Structure 1
Amino acid sequence: MLSEKSTSVVRATLPAVGAAIADITPLFYRKMFAAHPELLRDLFNRGNQANGTQSRALAGSIAVFAGLLLEHPDERPDRMLARIAHKHASLGITADQYTIVHRYLFEAIAEVLGDAVTPEVAAAWDEVYWLMAGALIAMEARLYAGAGVEDGDVWRPWRVVHRQEETADVATFVLRPADGGPVPPFKPGQYVSVRVPLPDGARQIRQYSLVCAPGGEEWWISVKRIAGDPAGEVSDRLHTDVREGDVLTVGEPFGDVVLDEEDGPVLLASAGIGCTPMIGMLSHLADTGSPRPVTVVHGDRGPADHAHRERLELLTDKLPDASVHVWYERPEGPWPAERTGYVDLSGVEIPEGVRAYLCGPVPFMRSVRTRLLERGVPASRVHYESFGPDLGLDA
């Protein structure tokens, strides 16, 4: 994929670029947002920009892609690219925006590395960038075509027909197309983007898993209010202002972490609001009367904080071969000592041939993935969904 000349240059400069990329990416964003403030206002997650996670994710994706090109020159890292492409499609990213990113990213590289960026080095990394960008553009075009929309045209008005309080800080919004049109199909585990107008004129976008089964007349999303300083500006807006009858701008469903169509055992492991894609998968399994062995593992602060706790019981009761294992850090009333604290898989049977799906905070997913690998589950059968920028589980 990478030319022979560029391969040698990238191999020689990857350590230097990797060491400097933590300085390159913040400068890149400052330059790009100064020239295109609408991108920060209406596209990029301002919270992730403020805490630096977006910069770390970009740095990781560039370094990983370049490294994979060197290690496996005859293979394209489609699994990594698919995750990015689905997220981009959910945001309505278009091909022309890659040119904008290229300009300011390479300006930042030249400024940080100075004389080390010779024409030869610039040309080699330019090739890396456009190999990655070209693959993503092609993937995203296929995703848009599969959704039956023009590139980037993912937005549609949806009316809130019901709102339900799951916990003190989690609300479920039941949505129907405001234009009376059909409900698009989706796969269990996928998410949709919601674009919310804010008081300062920004239209910020966040992704929420669909907690309903495919094929219905409604979409269900559950939103957790994000506390802190600053608090989650979109989640707070949805919790404070959105009621039954209001209209939200919602995107097409995307996401590459979806329930497989095999007939073998499934492990669904989540923590906190990470239960939402798992509830979507369970809804599908229950609705289809699946005979598959299903193991559900969940960790939360306490019963009052456990969103969809009753629904979890109802769904698993419908399955002929399902087991549920729940841990609470602060249980209320009588509760088994072995289920108090953080999730511990040591006492959970892991069936042979299991396919595992993880969602929750990165430390939780990293811990569960590590335990699964130690118990012989192949890495290729462990899938995870990250709500924020994907920082990887191998770090």
Structure 2
Amino acid sequence: MLSEKSTTTVRATLPAVGAAIGTITERFYERLFAAHPELLRDLFNRGNQAAGLQKQALAGSIAAFATHLVDQPDDRPDVMLNRIANKHASLGVTADQYKIVHRHLFAAIAEVLGEAVTPEVAEAWDEVYWLMANALIAIEARLYEERGVLAGDVWREWTVAGRIEETADCATFRLRPADGAPAPAFRAGQYVSVQVGLADGARQIRQYSLSSAPGSEFRSITVKRVQGDPDGEVSGHLHAHVREGDRLRVSAPYGDLVLDTGLDTDDAPLLLASAGIGCTPMLSMLEQLAAAGHRAPVTVVHADRSPAGHPLREDHAALTAKLPDAAAHFWYESPEPGHPADRTGLVDLTTLPVPSGTRAYLCGPLPFMRAVRTQLLAKGVAAADIHYEVFGPDLWPAQG
């Protein structure tokens, strides 16, 4: 993929670029938003920008892609690229925006590294950038085509047909297309982007997994109010202001954390592990499995602070019970009286049987998924059979 000349240059300069990549991405975003404030207002997550999470994710993805190019020149990190492309498609990212990113990113590189950026170095890293950018552009074009939309034109008006208070900080919004046309099909585990207008005029976007099953009458999203520093702008707006009868701008469904289907996978044992609001894609998967009459073993794992804070807890247990060979294992930090002692605290799979050939799907905070993945690998689950979804910037490449 990368030319031999550029490979040599990138390999030689990767330590220096890697050491400075955090500073480079920080300067990049400063330049980008100074020139295009509308991108921070209406596209990028302002909360993640304030916390520095988007900077970490960008730095990690660039470093991971460049390292992959020099270490495995005949391969391409398609898992990482597909995850990024799905997120971009749900936001309506278009090919011309990559030119804007390129201009400000390379200005930041030159500013931070100074004279070390010789014409040869600039040419090599320019090749890295466009290999990654063009791969993403191609994947995103395919995703738009599959959805039958023009590039970037992913938004439709949806009506809130109902609102259910699941817990003190989680609410489910049942949605249907405002124009009465059929809702777009989706695969269990996928998400949509929701765009809301805020008091300062910004139109911020966030992704929420579809917690309903494919083929259901409504599309449902279950939203947890994000409280912290800063509080979640979109989740806070949805909880405070959106009621039955209101309208929302919702994207077409995207996401690559979906159940494998086919003759060679229908009989595979499954493990669905989640924590907190990460249970939402698992609910959709369980409902699909139940509707399809899935008969292979299914192990359901969930971790939460308490039973009262476990979103859709009754649905989680009831859908598991619909499957002929399935068991649910819930861990709580503060359980109810009588809860099993070995299901208290953090998830520990030591005594949990994991059948050979298990395919695992994970969703939740990154530390939870890293811990579960490590335990699954120790139990013999193949790395290729462990799939995950991150809510927010994907920091896994940045943290190894």
Give me the TM-score of the superposition, normalised by structure 1: 0.99
1:194, 1:250 within 8 Å by CA — same for their partners in 2?
Answer: yes
Tell me whether 1:148 sits opposite 2:137 in the alignment: no
Aligned residue number for residue 345 of structure 2: 341
2:321, 2:327 within 8 Å by CA — same for their partners in 1?
Answer: no
Aligned residue number for residue 310 of structure 1: 314
Secondary structure at the aligned position of 2:350 is classed as helix
Secondary structure at the aligned position of 2:256 is classed as coil
Map 1:191-270 to 2 at 5 A.
191-261=191-261, 262=265, 263-270=267-274
Cα-to-partner distance string for 1:232-274 (whole Å, 9 max, x where unaligned): 0100000000000000000000001101111210000011111
Query: Considering only aligned residues, what root-mean-square deviation do their CA atoms show, in Å?
Result: 0.8
Shift of 1:149: 0.2
For the residues of structure 2 that align with 1:312 and 1:82, how far apart are their CA atoms?
A: 28
Shift of 1:332: 2.0
Query: Percent of counterpart pairs with the same letter?
Result: 69
For the residues of structure 2 that align with 1:10 and 1:382, how far apart are their CA atoms?
A: 31
Residue 359 of structure 1 aligns to which amino acid in structure 2? C
Aligned residue number for residue 323 of structure 2: 319
For the residues of structure 2 that align with 1:309 and 1:5, how far apart are their CA atoms?
A: 56
For the residues of structure 2 that align with 1:283 and 1:239, how far apart are their CA atoms?
A: 26
Aligned residue number for residue 373 of structure 1: 377
Map 1:79-228 to 2 at 5 A.
79-228=79-228
1:31, 1:104 within 8 Å by CA — same for their partners in 2?
Answer: yes
Cα-to-partner distance string for 1:288-325 (whole Å, 9 max, x where unaligned): 22112110001111110001110012111211010111
Residue 331 of structure 2 aligns to which amino acid in structure 1? W
Secondary structure at the aligned position of 2:134 is classed as helix
Aligned residue number for residue 368 of structure 2: 364
1:211, 1:277 within 8 Å by CA — same for their partners in 2?
Answer: yes
For the residues of structure 2 that align with 1:370 and 1:388, how far apart are their CA atoms?
A: 22
For these two proteins, the number of residue pairs brought into alignment is: 395
Residue 9 of structure 1 aligns to which amino acid in structure 2? T
For the residues of structure 2 that align with 1:317 and 1:362, how far apart are their CA atoms?
A: 28
Shift of 1:286: 1.3
For the residues of structure 1 that align with 2:84 and 2:53, how far apart are their CA atoms?
A: 15
Secondary structure at the aligned position of 2:272 is classed as strand
2:302, 2:330 within 8 Å by CA — same for their partners in 1?
Answer: yes
Shift of 1:47: 0.5
Q: Structure 1 unaligned runs (5+)? A: none
Secondary structure at the aligned position of 2:200 is classed as coil
Aligned residue number for residue 29 of structure 1: 29
Deviates more, 1:222-231 or 1:14-23: 222-231
For the residues of structure 2 that align with 1:375 and 1:288, how far apart are their CA atoms?
A: 28
Secondary structure at the aligned position of 1:347 is classed as coil
Tell me whether 1:56 sits opposite 2:56 in the alignment: yes
Residue 358 of structure 1 aligns to which amino acid in structure 2? L
